[in-house]
């Protein structure tokens, strides 16, 4: 997900989305430790998306 797409999401929806993505990330890491994923680069991509979302949420908090 690109930063422009993240900026369009409402703040409360962004917080919910972060929780969902973190749960998805944790499940993906657990599944990868049991049996390797076909594309382990998905983990890296998801981790970076979560970081972008958290950065945008924090930026909104500071700008209030």
DSSP sequence for the chain: --HHHHHHS-HHHHHHHHHHHHHHHHHHHHHHHHS--S-THHHHHHHHHHHHHHHHHHHHHHH-
Residue 1 clears pLDDT 90, i.e. is over it = no
**Can you tell me the mean pLDDT for 47-53?**
97
* pLDDT grade for 64, boundaries at 50, 70 and 90: confident
CB atoms within 10 A of CB 17: 18
Torsion of CA 10, 27, 40, 51, to 10 degrees: 30
Does pTM surpass 0.85?
yes
Tens of pLDDT, residues 4-41: 999 999 999 999 999 999 999 999 999 999 999 999 99
End-to-end Cα distance, the chain:
24
């Amino acid at each position: 997900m690109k930063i422009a797409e993240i900026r369009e999401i409402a703040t409360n929806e962004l917080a919910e989305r972060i929780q969902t993505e973190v749960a998805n990330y944790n499940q993906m890491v657990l599944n990868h430790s049991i049996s390797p994923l076909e594309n382990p680069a998905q983990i890296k991509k998801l981790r970076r998306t979560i970081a972008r979302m958290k950065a945008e949420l924090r930026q909104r908090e500071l700008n209030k």
